[in-house]
Amino acid sequence: QVQLQESGPGLVKPSQTLSLTCTVSGDSITRMHTAWAWIRQSPGKGLEWMGVKTYGDITYYSPSLKSRISISRDTSKNQFSLQLSSVTPEDTAVYYCAAETDGAIYDTAQRYDYWGKGTQVTVGS
């Protein structure tokens, strides 16, 4: 079974870049028909799908974040990463990495079957 674990700083200063890594076990991020996503939940708000990278290294981003987001991967470590630039306090959230293995690519957070536990990121000085 797929297991995901987020890691990265819990505090980021405004205007800097937020960087998180998701380490995957139990599956390969290059296995066919898999997709690997980043999702967040801000205080008092619902889940927000941020973007996804497919097994074939194709990436899709939320239109609202497209100018600031980048998702990359390191296949040798079976990891994928999130970078979000020019952060503000509104980017404070619990950040999750998630996976889907049914061959579909979803832009809705609730459609993902496998989730990490989440990591709190606070934007502040």
Strands 114-115 and 93-100: antiparallel
Give the model's pLDDT for residue 95: 98
Q: What is the DSSP secondary structure assignment for residue 109, as one 8-state letter?
A: G
Contact by Cβ (8 Å): 65, 51: yes
pLDDT digits (tens, 9 = 90+) for 59-115: 999 999 999 999 999 999 999 999 999 999 999 999 999 999 988 889 999 999 999
Give one DSSP letter per residue of 12-50, joined into a string: E-TTS-EEEEEEEESS-TTSTT-EEEEEEE-TTS-EEEE
pLDDT digits (tens, 9 = 90+) for 33-65: 999 999 999 999 999 999 999 999 999 999 999
Backbone angles phi, psi at 109, to 5 degrees: -60, -40
